[in-house]
Amino acid sequence: MTASILVVDDEADVRALLEDQLLSLGYAVRTAPSAEEALTLVEQAAPDLVLTDVHMRGISGVELCARLKADSRFALTPVVILTAVTDLDARVAGLAAGADDFFGKPFELSELGARLGALLRVKALLDHLERAEGVIVTLGATIEARDLYTAGHCERLAAYGVALGQALGVEEPLLRALRLGGYLHDLGKIAVPDAVLLKPGALTPAELEQVRRHPALGADLVRGLRTLDDVRPIIRHHHERWDGSGYPDRLRGEAIPLGARIMAVVDVFDALHTERPYKPALSTADAITILRTETDAGAWDPQVVARFVDIVRGLGLGRNGGATISSGMRRGG
């Protein structure tokens, strides 16, 4: 597929020169005489790279860069800023705005083409990784769809996990991992037969062992996808317990990755709060009571549970009917 470049410059002769050169290199080119028009064009069709002058009437090239990088849709789109060689202030401001490269005026067109090509190759690789990640996330949702009782479970866990992570003050990479972990935590259940996964009665020891293999299997499925490196510990360890009695690695306390501790708490809450083939739904209050009781018994991180209890009523949860049940009736995941 031909890479597309958006050229932004308020000088018509510069735009024409850059357009001719980039077309000769085989790129699809659009041009804009201002940053304001560039923002409109980007909304219509996202380019693979933006090449902008720094000093323009109205919004500057630095501000254009900052706006694009602040939008999650365009944050990975390379932005190259054309500056005067001696304009150090513009370069510093561009770096702060997230610019990917600078090119001084007057410029050598062949060198500019080579550097744009390098940035576009990186962008193509990132797009490929994002598509692979999207396939895995879709697979996670497909696994959930096998069981009508867990409809919406992944979306709820993603929302709960991010809200709890924000309340705990975690950094943005972990918030992203929690969002994806909500969809991918049970990825390994692709290997669990429907007869076991959807069984309404108690599981046999052999069936329970099949279910308990799913965290390790799921983590193995995303091994090698570097964009999911922060998600793998959540997938593998969301069934570990604070007291070391969980699986698959019997990790204890803070040896359990924080993302997995967060996912464990919201996963248990959602399992209690929703109807399953083997149990009715509990009210928010009853689910919280069981969560606290299990925490006192050593199952979950007390700090994570305490923070979740503080925020759970602000998540817009309805009250479902149901009597208190034994946590032993729950399945893994």
Asked whether the predicted pLDDT for residue 317 surpasses 80, the reply is no
Q: Is residue 135 part of a domain?
A: no
- Residue where the block lists tokens 């969560």: 291
Do the domain assignments include residue 52? Answer: yes
Instruction: List pLDDT tens digits, range 98-120.
Output: 888 888 777 777 777 888 888 88
Q: Is residue 294 in some structural domain?
A: yes
Q: What is the pLDDT of residue 278?
A: 64
Query: 274: domain CATH number?
Result: 1.10.3210.10
Residues 232 and 296 in one domain: yes
Residue 119 placed within a domain: yes
Structural domain containing residue 15:
4-127
**What is d(CA 285, CA 291) in angstroms, rounded to the nearest whole number?**
10
Pair 45, 111 in one domain: yes
Please check whether residue 298 lies inside any domain of the structure: yes
Cβ-Cβ contacts under 8 Å for 252 (sequence gap 6 or more): 240, 241, 242, 243, 244
Say yes or no: 158 and 105 in one domain.
no
Q: Is residue 39 part of a domain?
A: yes
Who contacts 278 (Cβ-Cβ below 8 Å, separation ≥6)?
Answer: 199, 200, 201, 202, 329, 331
Band (pLDDT 50/70/90 cuts) for residue 145 is low
Instruction: Identify the band that residue 181 occupies on the pLDDT scale cut at 50, 70 and 90.
Output: very high
Asked if 184 and 135 touch (Cβ cutoff 8 Å), the reply is no
pLDDT at 201: 78
Question: Is the confidence at residue 196, as pLDDT, over 90?
Answer: no
Same domain, residue pair 113 and 173:
no
Task: Say whether pLDDT at 165 is over 90.
Answer: yes
Spatial distance between the Cα atoms of 232 and 155, rounded to a whole number of angstroms = 18
Q: How far apart are CA 76 and CA 296, in angstroms?
A: 44
pLDDT of residue 16: 93
The verdict on 172 and 311 lying in the same domain is yes
Same domain, 306 and 272: yes
Distance CA 5, CA 47 (A): 6
pTM: 0.61
pLDDT at residue 146 in the model:
64
Confidence of residue 169 (pLDDT cuts 50, 70, 90): very high
Share above pLDDT 90 across residues of the chain, in percent, rounded to a whole number: 48
Residue 59 falls within a domain, yes or no? yes
Measured between alpha carbons, how far is 198 from 260 in angstroms, rounded to an integer?
25
Mean pLDDT of 182-210: 85
Q: Report in angstroms the alpha-carbon separations of 133 from 129, 141, 164, 287.
A: 6, 13, 23, 33
Shared domain for 107 and 175, answered yes or no, is no
In angstroms, the CA 12 to CA 256 distance is 59
Q: Is the domain of 167 the same as that of 290?
A: yes
207 and 303 part of one domain: yes
**Is 289 exposed, middle or buried, given 0-12, 13-18 or 19+ CB atoms closer than 10 A?**
middle
Same domain for 99 and 19: yes
**pLDDT tens by residue, 26-85:** 999 999 999 999 999 999 999 999 999 998 989 999 999 999 988 878 888 899 998 875
231: confidence class by pLDDT, cuts 50, 70, 90: very high
Residue 14 included in any domain: yes
Residue 306 CB coordination number (10 Å): 11
Specify the DSSP element, H or E, that contains 204: none
Number of domains in the chain: 2
Q: Which residues pair with 30 in a beta bridge?
A: 6
127 falls in which pLDDT band (50, 70, 90)? confident
How high is the mean pLDDT of the chain?
Answer: 85
Radius of gyration of the chain (CA): 25
Q: What dihedral angle (degrees, nearest 10) is formed by the CA atoms of 76, 82, 84, 85?
A: 60
pLDDT attached to residue 328: 36
Question: In residues, how long is the chain?
Answer: 333
Among 221, 220, 278, 212, which residue's Cα sits nearest to residue 239?
212
Last residue of a domain, one of 94, 127, 160: 127
Per-residue pLDDT at 106: 72
178 and 317 co-located in one domain? yes
- Give the CATH number for residue 99: 3.40.50.2300
Predicted pLDDT at 245: 96
Residues 172, 292, single domain; the answer is yes
Reply yes or no on whether the pLDDT at 20 is more than 50: yes
Give me the pLDDT at residue 327, please.
35
